Amino acid sequence: MLRIGSMNMLLHGVENPDVRYRDSLAQDHADEVEKYTLITANSPFAGSLDYENCAKDLLQVVKTKKTELLFLALYLRLLKPGGRAAVIVPDGVLFGSSNAHKTLRRILVEEQKLDAVISLPGGVFKPYAGVSTAILLFTKTNSGGTDYVWFYDVEADGWSLDDKLTPLLPEEKLGPVPKAALTADDRAKNNLPDILARWTQRDRAERQNPRTAQSFCVPRADLAAQGYDLSLNRYKEVVHAEVAHRPPGEILARLADLEKEIVHGMSELETMLAKPAIAK
């Protein structure tokens, strides 16, 4: 696995990759505490460990057996103050009701600086996993700093959300920085360039977006009031199209007319059935 991982990084332009064989959640991290300035990760989901198999320094951050929460605790341990992280988590991390879930979300909002929650579409990792996920972007400060959290609802990433992973656009229009310009229809199929563009405006124009928009900001006080729930749907407002209904009197009159037509039709049918059959 180490060789495969090293080769994969080389193919993606990372020269001299430092890939180590270790159990990140079971072994102590004293030699790597506050060592890194940037962490990007897509950790394993839905795992569970016994407490005796968990690194003690991680349990000091949050006492839990769930691997998705332990990995978040690990990133907080490894980052230097001022270090940043962009990590993929299952949606359950955003709204889980256990004490561990709530504690970790409170730490991100109140003790660190939670920058953004990017909600990904359900099939983005198919055929390998169908679980709904999100990207958490945060900065380690150890002194808070969260004023607003930027939310973005990704609807498409340029690929079909099924097991076939079919590209929805030509190759030159895929990815976060496409080689060709995108039309409005193209942007609806590939939101990634729009995410980058709006990310740079999260402290300016994005603050003015209504919560009906694809992206918007939520103040820290609102997050705290909701128990630090970080699911986008908790804050997104849905505008329902107004439907014009006919007045009740008009509907009742129409029902009466239909009833008369039915009675008349039944009467004609009874008359037809009452006539004697003509022998041939």
pLDDT at 271 over 90: no
Q: Is 266 a domain residue?
A: no
Q: Is 268 a domain residue?
A: no
Q: Is 265 a domain residue?
A: no
What local confidence, expressed as pLDDT, does residue 20 receive? Answer: 84
What local confidence, expressed as pLDDT, does residue 277 receive? Answer: 63
Q: Is 47 a domain residue?
A: yes
Q: Is 278 a domain residue?
A: no
In the chain, which residue ranges form alpha helices assigned H by DSSP?
Answer: 2-11, 56-61, 67-78, 92-95, 99-106, 184-189, 192-199, 220-225, 232-235, 248-274
Percent of the chain with pLDDT over 70: 99
Number of folded domains that form the chain: 1
Mean pLDDT calculated for residue range 169-184: 96
Structural domain containing residue 31 = 2-155+191-235
Band of the pLDDT at 278, cuts 50, 70, 90?
low
What local confidence, expressed as pLDDT, does residue 77 receive? Answer: 94
Band of the pLDDT at 83, cuts 50, 70, 90?
very high
Pairing of strands 79-90, 133-139: antiparallel
Where residue 58 sits, what CATH number does that domain have? 3.40.50.150
Mean pLDDT, the chain, as a whole number?
92
What local confidence, expressed as pLDDT, does residue 261 receive? Answer: 92
pLDDT at 241 over 80: no
pLDDT tens for each residue of 116-143: 999 999 889 888 888 899 999 999 999 9
What local confidence, expressed as pLDDT, does residue 280 receive? Answer: 55
**Strand partners of residue 270:** none
Q: What is the pTM of this model?
A: 0.83
pLDDT tens for each residue of 187-240: 999 999 999 999 999 999 999 999 999 999 999 999 999 999 999 999 999 887
CA separation for the pair 36, 85 (Å, rounded): 10
Q: Is 255 a domain residue?
A: no
pLDDT at 172 over 80: yes
What local confidence, expressed as pLDDT, does residue 114 receive? Answer: 98
Q: Is 186 a domain residue?
A: no
What local confidence, expressed as pLDDT, does residue 180 receive? Answer: 96
Lowest-confidence region among 16-25, 78-87, 93-102: 16-25
What local confidence, expressed as pLDDT, does residue 5 receive? Answer: 85
Lowest-confidence region among 18-27, 81-90, 111-120: 18-27
Handedness of CA 29, 34, 35, 38 (dihedral sign): positive
Q: Is 182 a domain residue?
A: no
CA distances from 258 to 103, 107, 253, 265, 268 (A): 62, 64, 9, 10, 15
pLDDT at 43 over 90: no
Q: What angle do CA 132, 138, 143 make, to 5 degrees?
A: 140
pLDDT at 3 over 90: no
SS3 category, 150: strand
- Residue bearing tokens 């563009």: 197
Mean pLDDT calculated for residue range 21-26: 86
